[in-house]
Amino acid sequence: MSSEKVRTTVSVIKADIGSVSGHVVVHPDTIAAATRVLAEAKAKGIIVDFYVTNAGDDLELIMTHRKGVDSPEVHEVAWNAFKEASRIAKDLGLYAAGQDLLSEAFSGNVRGLGPGVAEMEFYERPSEPIAVFMADKTEPGAFNLPIFKVFADPFNTAGLVIDPKLHPGFKFEIYDVFEGKSVIMSAPEEMYDILAIIGTPARYIVRRVYRKVDDEIAAVVSVERLSLIAGRYVGKDDPVAVVRAQAGFPAMGEILEAFAFPHLVAGWMRGSHHGPLMPVPQRYAKCTRFDGPPRIVGLGFQVKNSKLIGPVDLFDDPAFDETRRMAQVVADYMRRHGPFMPHRLGPEEMEYTTLPEVLEKLKDRFFKVEGAVKAAKPKVKSELLSDESKE
């Protein structure tokens, strides 16, 4: 069978099922447990290939198959792998065993049950390189800036200017996690509007990117927000992403270049602080300083007839040493703020911590100040137009 005719699905599904010595690193026995479940699924023909790894305290399942996105069979395999790994974690007394599994029962899809999911389906090209990115101690919106740079910033991606296949641009599906709605916007013509939205990464997340000329999938990001699902803080979301490279998509080097700037993201200690996103090789995928700083691991694969060739540890390169050094400096700077913003997140992101309890305790101790002016609610554009029509 020629590779061009193969319809392949890449599914990356992750969960924090327990870790060693706090929120640090996945235990090898839990990786082995998940590997056994996926190996059995491969023998049964449910999946074609797989790779099990970790990013910090998150167990990562990278699978290829031909059953499409949101396949109940594949998602059940992932769920069973997490449940078995969680069982081992509990036997070992690992910290936060089963943390991301918010339900006891599988209901046909892991979405909404705690794990993060990034999946894409495509016809394989003769050569199909992909990058799988796995973050720890941060939220899905952490991918907004680098994904935008990869697919819309010509200062990052030269191909947007000089490659005829990239020059028409890309379309961004942007997901509102509060409303559960998406909007599709086009770059470069709507670039400023895109930035106006995704600059609020706690709410608006770049979920998928498509090549404009043919609507071919280019990238996908997990968008699950655990606190919104559970209604309480149960750990940071630790997103994953899959990006296709080369031959009509940005080059692998252009994709990685977007991570050469350790931009500030939400997460870090107790999911309540801003810190630099540090690109690291697999061996440094463990967060210890203040449970951080946030990390990003990149693995490169070739996909051929739905099989994985690789991986390549993409950030295991001294060219990223300066980025890591800069991240250390930024981490020092942010840490010196202690419990003050902007190191600590704003009040809208602290609703799942002790802050509401503190405010509740103090509510009867607040008193009115004579002559104080209460802040007016900002008017939206429709209200402003209504006022103008009265004049």
Tokens of 361: 């305790």
Backbone angles phi, psi at 154, to 5 degrees: -65, -20
What's the CA gap between 35 and 123, in Å, rounded?
27
Q: Both tokens of residue 362?
A: 């103090």
Instruction: For residue 56, give every residue at least 6 positions away whose Cβ sits within 8 Å of its Cβ, in sequence order, or none.
Output: 19, 23, 24, 25, 26, 136, 137, 238, 285, 286, 287, 295
Among candidate residues 135, 170, 140, 139, the one with its CA nearest the CA of residue 156: 170
Cα(325)–Cα(330) distance, integer angstroms: 9
Active site members: 16, 233, 236
314: left (phi over 0), alpha (psi -120 to 50) or beta: alpha
| Residue 108 amino acid letter | G
Cα–Cα dist 63/10, whole Å: 6
Numbers of helices and strands, H then E, in the chain = 10, 15
**CA separation for the pair 292, 276 (Å, rounded):** 9
